[in-house]
């Protein structure tokens, strides 16, 4: 993992020093922002629609007192949404649901080394829909 602060002030996490693949970033509110696409197999159907993050990334977020993990999922259901869970609850939810199988290695010959990952089922996340935010604006909330 390679970490760098960009010109916008976000802390960006790259897979390697080549910086050709970003895992996500931490914004000024100390939230980790990333995206997962169902079409690319980034949501694990066989594990209760789990979403995974790299274990070393989760450890970094914990060490730096980050707030939430916010995952944009544009293609899971009819409406895109944000899946949100607090950093401190992520590891606990993973182990409560999957036990020893929460941490796994996704490395294969076809892909670069990702290292160990930890997964949490989608039902452990809170879903924030774009339409709800727009509705709240209309309702004056």
Range of the domain at 25: 2-139
Per-10-residue mean pLDDT of the chain, 141 residues long, equals 94 91 94 92 89 95 97 88 96 95 75 78 93 53 49
Domain count, the chain: 1
Burial 121-135 (b: 16+ CB within 10 A, else e): bbebbeeeeeeeeee
pLDDT of residue 86: 98
The answer to whether 32 and 17 are in contact (CB under 8 A) is no
What CATH number should be reported for the domain holding residue 99?
Answer: 3.40.1350
pLDDT of residue 138: 42
First to last CA, the chain: 40
What's the whole-model pTM score? 0.86
In the numeric block, which tokens belong to residue 61?
């977020």
pLDDT of residue 139: 43
pLDDT of residue 94: 97
Cα 1 from Cα 103, distance rounded (Å): 17
pLDDT of residue 130: 80
pLDDT of residue 133: 59
DSSP state of 77: S
Q: CB within 8 A of 39, min separation 6: which ones?
A: 75
């Amino acid at each position: 993992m390679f970490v760098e602060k960009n010109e916008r002030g976000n802390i960006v996490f790259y897979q390697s020093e080549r910086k050709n693949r970003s895992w996500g970033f931490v914004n000024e509110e100390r939230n980790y922002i990333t995206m997962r696409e169902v079409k690319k197999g980034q949501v694990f159907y066989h594990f209760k629609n789990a979403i995974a993050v790299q274990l070393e990334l989760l450890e970094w977020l914990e060490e730096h007192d980050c707030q939430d993990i916010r995952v944009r999922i544009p293609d899971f259901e009819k409406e895109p949404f944000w899946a949100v869970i607090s950093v401190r609850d992520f590891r606990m939810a993973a182990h409560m649901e999957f036990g020893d199988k929460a941490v796994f290695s996704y490395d294969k010959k076809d892909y670069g080394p990702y290292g160990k990952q930890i997964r949490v089922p989608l039902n452990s996340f809170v879903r924030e829909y774009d339409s709800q935010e727009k509705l709240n604006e209309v309702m004056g909330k």
